[in-house]
Amino acid sequence: MAGTSVLQRTNFFSPPADPPQSSDLNLRLKEQHCLSLLKSCNNLEEFKQAHAQIVKWGFFWNSFSASNLVAASALSDWGSMDYACSIFRQIDDPGTFEFNTMIRAYVKDMNFGEALAFYCEMLERGVEPDNFTYPALFKACAWLKAKEEGMQIHGHSFKLGFETDVYVQNSLINMYGKCGQIEHAGAVFEQMDEKSVASWSAIIAAYASLGMWSECLMVFGNMSSEGCWRPEESTLVTVLSACTHLSALDLGKCTHGALLRNISGLNVIVQTSLIDMYVKCGCLEKGLSLFHRMAERNRMSYTVMISGLAMHGHGEEALRIYSMMLEEGIEPDDVVYVGVLSACSHAGLIDEGFECFDRMKSEHGIEPAVQHYGCMVDLMGKAGMINEALEFINSMPIEPNDVVWRSLLSACRVHCNLEIAEIAAKHLFQLSSQNPGDYVILSNMYAQAEKWPEVAKIRMEMARKGLNQVPGFSLVEVGRRIHKFVSQDTSHPLCKSIYEMIHQMEWQLKFEGYTPETSQVLLDVDEEEKAQRLKGHSQKLAIAFALIHTSQGTPIRIARNLRMCNDCHSYTKLISIIYEREITVRDRNRFHHFKDGTCSCRDYW
DNA sequence: TTAGGGTTAG
């Protein structure tokens, strides 16, 4: 057999009768021949045969062949790292490349501890790491969330002068992001002379994983303006997620446009993110139509749709989608059931809620978790079944958490049950709840009952614990900018015109028979002061601002951090008639669509 | 002679 034909031959598994004619080939050619054989292997069995043949030929045990054996083998893909390791151990004097190969292979195999152990061995044996060593190590630390080790190894790479290697920097951003050390990730990012698409993706993902959505969008904006923008599906999905959390519909729509222009054939992940964005930004119809047009749906798509419908109070429709999911043969999980139960709770579907709660375990073998119990307490509480809800909590086989007790406390507030509110609050305080809202609710209930000494006691307790009432705020998007209003806000640059608008609205509201519901202003102050307080609620400021700055008929969408007060609810209903606007408000629990003087929640919330 | 970074939905 001629030398050239040996080199060209890649199908090792009809092996030649004789080994390559070593007298005819120089060492390099032999090595390349070995490599091409190894690369042609498709599984471990073929690989072992190739390995044995090369050893038989007698020119395997130089370090080049051995390391390439590991490198070319995809041994980690075949779950054969023990075999790779046995090869490595036969190398007399492994160098940087051999160690790098092992570290990379272990990282690929998701065996991060072993990767770090090889790095330690490398240092112990005095083998100097190079710039190829570090990205793999940082990836291992990222997965392990090994903050301390990561920082220590960062120190090594710095000393060796790899601080400006773009691959090292990108993996550092990823590592610090995954370890929650966002300021370190940001520092590495800022110091980079040349940022690659991977650098931007890494920092955007880091902000997203910590829920720092505004920063996420800001960095994305900078990426575009610095001309380093390549529309990548994954980045755009992260941006969509940020829009969802910030209720930034206009930007979400732009992102949808960018996806349609740049990515052909949106996959199920992108479509699910789009549905989630539209639904959580208040456009339920748009979300539904995308959902029904999907060619392929998975459990996640169903979850998004079911919990979206739940937030909008469309309980029956949510249950229809849930049945559709079962018919399609998709097995529900615990998160789907949180959506289903909350749909029942928001829509007042008591019997259906209990039925689903039972089916969850009996038909799908899902043991109810504390969130599911929470939904059931909410379901009963909203319907005014306060005593039943308390009994239900007392019979729970698992320990109720603060969310469960808080659900009960909220229900007590709505249905004015001070006695059980005290029980719920006692449990919350025992659970060392640091949530100022719990104290505020109880104190407000005492105020409503005109029990002023108790009010003072609670307020003092709050002060002693250093808890401050969380100020209510509302977000409204006007001209692709999110404007934030805090209760009693006077900081907005257009503050004067906003308060003038509030004044004008007030006159029109009076014609419609509006009287401020001062009963929820729970301060020991006179009626006029109470009415004054109500006027400054952040939702009203946001509505006034939007009425000034958007044209007639434009829908107004608001997102707020707290639950709406009764006064804002009835106020907004009237505004929707007077100004002929559809107003959508997302509070911490659900959506309210105000139109023609009514709200989609039918005053059940 | 060989090898490297980021990456998405509830």
Give residue-wise pLDDT tens across range A296-309: 999 999 999 999 99
Residue A335 lies in a domain: no
Mean pLDDT value across residues A314-320:
96
Q: What percent of chain A has pLDDT over 90?
A: 64
pLDDT, position A243: 94
Q: Determine the structural domain holding residue A586 and report its residue range.
A: 485-599
pLDDT, position A228: 74
pLDDT, position A525: 66
Domain check: are A490 and A592 in the same one?
yes
* B6 C1' closest Cα residue: A198
Is A345 near strand B, with its CB below 7 A from some atom of it?
no
Domain check: are A590 and A505 in the same one?
yes
pLDDT, position A48: 84
Mean pLDDT value across residues A209-237:
89
Of the residues A470, A495, A526, which one is the last residue of a structural domain?
Answer: A470
Reduced to 3 states, what is the DSSP secondary structure of residue A399? coil
The sign of the CA dihedral A286, A287, A288, A293 is positive
Domain check: are A461 and A493 in the same one?
no
Nucleotide nearest to A269 (CA to C1'): B9
Domain check: are A498 and A566 in the same one?
yes
> Among A223-232, A239-248, A517-526, where is mean pLDDT lowest?
A517-526
Question: Where is pLDDT greater, at A62 or A18?
Answer: A62
Token pair 């044996």 is at which residue? A125
- Residue A424: pLDDT over 70: yes
Nucleotide nearest to A336 (CA to C1'): B10
Residue A440: closest CA among A484, A402, A395, A406: A406
CA A514 – CA A506 distance, rounded (Å): 9
Is A366 near strand B, with its CB below 7 A from some atom of it?
no
* Ordered alpha helix ranges (H), A145-212: 147-159, 166-178, 182-191, 197-209
Is A280 near strand B, with its CB below 7 A from some atom of it?
no
Question: Where is pLDDT greater, at A481 or A328?
Answer: A328
Is A178 near strand B, with its CB below 7 A from some atom of it?
yes
Domain check: are A492 and A595 in the same one?
yes
Confidence of residue A432 (pLDDT cuts 50, 70, 90): confident
Mean pLDDT comparison of A128-137, A472-481, A584-593, highest-scoring range: A128-137
> Among A74-83, A231-240, A451-460, A504-513, where is mean pLDDT lowest?
A74-83
Question: Where is pLDDT greater, at A313 or A524?
Answer: A313
Averaged confidence pLDDT in chain A: 88
Domain check: are A560 and A497 in the same one?
yes
Domain check: are A535 and A588 in the same one?
yes
Domain check: are A529 and A464 in the same one?
no
Of the residues A407, A439, A470, which one is the last residue of a structural domain?
Answer: A470
CB-neighbour burial class of residue A230 (10 A; exposed 0-12, middle 13-18, buried 19+): exposed
Name the β-bridge partners of A307: none
pLDDT, position A206: 96
Residue A4 lies in a domain: no
- Residue A19: pLDDT over 70: no
pLDDT, position A61: 59
Residue A174: closest CA among A121, A131, A138: A138
Q: What percent of chain A has pLDDT over 70?
A: 91
pLDDT, position A3: 34
CA A271 – CA A288 distance, rounded (Å): 11
Residue A11 lies in a domain: no
C-alpha dihedral, A475 to A478 to A479 to A484, nearest 10°: -30
Q: Which amino acid is at A118?
A: F
Residue A379: closest CA among A357, A351, A350: A350
Count of CB atoms situated within 10 Å of the CB of A514: 18
- Residue A7: pLDDT over 90: no
Domain check: are A464 and A503 in the same one?
no
Q: In which order are the strands placed within the sheet that holds A556-560?
A: A481-486, A473-478, A556-560, A583-586, A591-595, A598-599
Token pair 């710039």 is at which residue? A131
Residue A233 lies in a domain: no
Q: How many domains does chain A have?
A: 2
CA A31 – CA A354 distance, rounded (Å): 70
Mean pLDDT comparison of A48-52, A96-100, A418-422, highest-scoring range: A418-422
pLDDT, position A26: 65
Question: Where is pLDDT greater, at A317 or A479?
Answer: A317
Of the residues A446, A470, A494, which one is the last residue of a structural domain?
Answer: A470
Question: Residues 558-597, chain A: which have Cβ under 7 A from strand B?
Answer: none
Domain check: are A524 and A463 in the same one?
no
Determine the distance between A55 (CA) and B8 (C1') in angstroms.
Answer: 45
User: What residues contact A84, with CB distance under 8 A and at least 6 apart?
Assistant: A70, A73, A75, A76, A102, A105
Q: Give, as one character, the DSSP assignment of residue A541.
A: H
Domain check: are A454 and A524 in the same one?
no
CA A427 – CA A406 distance, rounded (Å): 9
Residue A560 lies in a domain: yes
Residue A513 lies in a domain: yes
> Among A96-110, A289-303, A522-536, where is mean pLDDT lowest?
A522-536
The tokens for A414 are 């709505």
Confidence of residue A520 (pLDDT cuts 50, 70, 90): low
Confidence of residue A39 (pLDDT cuts 50, 70, 90): confident
The C-alpha R_g of chain A, in whole angstroms, comes to 32
- Residue A562: pLDDT over 70: yes
Mean pLDDT value across residues A342-353:
96
What H or E segment, with its residue span, contains residue A482? Answer: strand A481-486
CA A558 – CA A549 distance, rounded (Å): 14
Nucleotide nearest to A198 (CA to C1'): B6
A63: left (phi over 0), alpha (psi -120 to 50) or beta: alpha
Residue A179 lies in a domain: no
Domain check: are A459 and A546 in the same one?
no
